């Protein structure tokens, strides 16, 4: 649930308290002033929310310049809009400006500490920055909300993040929870395949990798795992297929470079 703290505004003082022609009657003028203030606050909040969502739309479309304008406009209406700061964090993350991304994520978290969506994005950012322990602590805050509608993604991200430490027990716990929600989730299946490969349990690694193969499109990372896995299992046909696919579809990837340099370990 988003919690948007309202920016208090004060209407210009009209009239003079000593003016005998404009006395308050039964508190009506005071009530009217209070209603006007509340109406203005609600209007500014709504405008701030609208511009924040427009900014998010521009981020999704890759129009980062317009996104920044809209998000700054959002904060001009409500400087406490945690959602706008959250989107700014995502925007600067996309722009590869981690310092600014972290600054805005932290402001967002400070203003809405119980918003699972904000914590989710911040945790994902921390993991991408290889700050794995911090990321996992932040993911734990997400999991305190059992009604959060993106728990599946949070669990698979936390599991794959733990795998980078590596903390196999933690990784398996989170990935298993993701697969309990969706047994065909590609990132969770690939994460389990990586986990068992790293533990040298190649049969179980192949089991999860085959399940991943059934419904998922390959990327350089998954193909590299497939290549190394088939090298261990001796599957020459699959090995040749993965190598060919990697070279043809991703000729400029780091994985293709490693293949050319014959670095065989995943």
For the domain spanning 38-112, the CATH number is 1.25.40.10
- Give me the sign of the Cα torsion angle 62, 130, 193, 263: positive
Domain 114-191 in the same topology as domain 38-112: yes
What is d(CA 127, CA 243) in angstroms, rounded to the nearest whole number?
29
Domain extents in the chain: 38-112, 114-191
Q: Which residues contact 217 (CB under 8 A, 6 or more apart)?
A: none
Per-10-residue mean pLDDT for the chain, 266 residues long?
35 36 52 70 91 97 97 96 98 98 98 97 98 98 95 98 97 98 98 98 97 94 97 94 96 94 66
DSSP 15: S
Q: Are 129 and 101 in contact (CB under 8 A)?
A: no
pTM for this model (two decimals): 0.82
pLDDT of residue 215: 87
| Domain 114-191, second-level architecture | Alpha Horseshoe (1.25)
pLDDT of residue 127: 98
């Amino acid at each position: 649930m988003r919690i948007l703290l309202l920016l208090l505004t004060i209407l210009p003082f009209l009239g003079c308290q000593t003016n005998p022609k404009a006395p308050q009657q039964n508190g009506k003028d005071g009530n009217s002033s209070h209603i006007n203030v509340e109406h203005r606050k609600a209007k500014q909040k709504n405008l701030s929310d609208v511009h924040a969502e427009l900014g998010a739309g521009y981020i999704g479309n890759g129009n980062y310049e317009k996104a920044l304008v809209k998000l700054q406009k959002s904060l001009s209406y409500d400087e406490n809009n945690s959602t706008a700061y959250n989107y700014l964090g995502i925007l600067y993350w996309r722009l590869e400006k981690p310092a600014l991304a972290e600054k805005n994520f932290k402001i967002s978290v400070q203003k809405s500490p119980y918003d699972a969506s904000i914590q989710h994005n911040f945790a994902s950012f921390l993991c991408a920055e290889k700050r794995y322990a911090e990321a996992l602590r932040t993911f734990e805050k997400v999991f305190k909300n059992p009604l959060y509608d993106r728990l599946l993604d949070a669990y698979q991200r936390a599991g794959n993040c733990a795998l980078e430490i590596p903390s196999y027990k933690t990784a398996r716990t989170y990935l298993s929870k993701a697969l309990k929600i969706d047994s065909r989730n590609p990132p969770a299946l690939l994460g389990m395949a990586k986990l068992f490969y790293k533990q040298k349990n190649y049969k179980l690694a192949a089991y999860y990798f085959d399940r991943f193969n059934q419904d998922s499109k390959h990327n350089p990372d998954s193909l590299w795992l497939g290549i190394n896995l088939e090298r261990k299992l001796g599957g020459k046909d699959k090995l040749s297929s993965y190598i060919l696919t990697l070279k043809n579809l991703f000729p400029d990837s780091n994985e293709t470079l490693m293949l050319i340099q014959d670095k065989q370990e995943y």
